[in-house]
Amino acid sequence: MTTVAIVGCTHAGTFAATSILREHPDWSVHVFERGDTLSFLSCGIALWVGDHVSDPRKMFYSSPAELEKLGATMHMSTDVTDIDVAGKTLEFRSLETGDSQTLQFDKLVVTTGSRPVVPSIPGIESDRVQLCKNWDNAVQIKERAHDAKSVVVIGAGYIGAELAEQFSTIGVETTLIDAAARVLANNFDKLITDQVEERYRKHGVTLALGEKVTAFTDNADGTVTVTTTGGAYTAQFAVLAVGFLPNTDLVRGQVDTLANGAIITNEYMQASVPYVYAAGDSATVRYNPTGELDYIPLATNAVRQGTLIGLNIDTPTRTYMGTQATSAVQLYRAGHVDPELGPADTARQGRAVLLDRGHLGRGEHGECGPPSRVHDRHVGERGLPVSTELRPARLLRWRGGREGRGRAGRLTPARGARRHLTRATHITCLMANWLPDIAAGRTAGAARRGNKTARPTVEITRQSDSPHTRHRTKRRRR
């Protein structure tokens, strides 16, 4: 019987275990997890802080019991202390009893995820400074947010940006600090981040941008002061959200990795040692726009890679398709609407979706076409808006379900459009919903000209590999 050891069980580990047991129900699969839960959706922490999660159990989609039903041997609250890749053994210790044991394995799956970056800053070990990563962190933040009057969030990436937003909406005085000059500076261009910063300020968030944290100091009144190169900010507690690194120390030096420790895998999720597999935040991805290996820790990557391990762990059969690393963030429940498109009434605006590392620039909107050509979901409805302006240019098409009707479906590249998608380098894309007036077939500009309906002019920008060359294509829907 083949014995598989899976180390780490969040997204990649959960899907790897499920996939392996589905394909090989007679195998012995041992799952090791340091915590007492698995499959935690950490992206929901900010939403829980802002009281948008009715039941925190909804932030989990699997459990140890479910994997046990599939046939896994679960080692929860267990710390793997050493892995000998060449000797095919691992040592583990129960965090509850302290007992240590050794397991001999045939195949090893490393899904240890990532760990928060904790800079070496005086005072950072204070219990008033906490991380935002796992379930225990989430519980601490939620409990503190209930009574807190003030908070300092360090790091204005996705996690810090969403936390700052939610703290401000529940009445907590919020300061957002980042060494970069803009919020979300690594994700979006200044055109977009300027709008985001304006919304923060309108909601009372103090932005301390371009400032590096130099010290944390506990005060006698139970607060903490965060000192930066530009000032000092005092709050009841601080949250550190300055990035992540692959948590691969157990196998580092035994398999090939990037400089940051991410395990290099081939298209079958195999590491440099054939019987070792890796997925999720502990592994590399192939970034399709460049064709190069990269480190992009996203849950979507983890799920796909974990599933592929089960399909390939016996015989390599299914290749990894790579990723465009598209992700979305929504702040303050308001869409971006050009002034000429209608009144700036946030109650009627759609949901703004900012696509990070997308490949298509935002089209220039002309007058709107018939209602069937626009996406008219509103703020309260589920699902994310899609890019209706891209399909007239024949670069994307909708497959499955019915768009805007709450049925499942997806956008896929249209036939012959893949070269436009894969040759692009890095163009940030802003896609916004339309106002209901526009969904009815009218824009402010069209109304002024007496046009009841009009054809949209769509401009799609493709940036080639040369920084000096830009190709533009305009197509008019007829």
* Residue reference for tokens 């895998």: 265
Establish whether 11 is a catalytic residue. Answer: yes
Distance CA 415, CA 420 (A): 11
- Assess contact for 56 and 48: CB atoms under 8 A: yes
Spell out a b/e string for 96-107, using b for 16 or more CB atoms within 10 Å of the CB, else e: eeeeeeebebeb
How far apart, in Å, are the Cα atoms of 299 and each of 176, 246, 283, 355? 25, 14, 12, 16
Looking at 24, 43, 203, 378, which residue is catalytic? 43
Distance CA 154, CA 231 (A): 14
Among the listed residues 359, 310, 213, the one whose alpha carbon sits nearest the alpha carbon of residue 15: 310
The count of other CB atoms within 10 Å of the CB of residue 417 is 18
The count of other CB atoms within 10 Å of the CB of residue 358 is 23
Tell me 371's DSSP state.
Answer: G
Q: Which amino acid is at 253?
A: G
Looking at 11, 30, 336, 359, which residue is catalytic? 11
- Assess contact for 385 and 377: CB atoms under 8 A: yes
Instruction: Enumerate the active-site residues.
Output: 11, 43
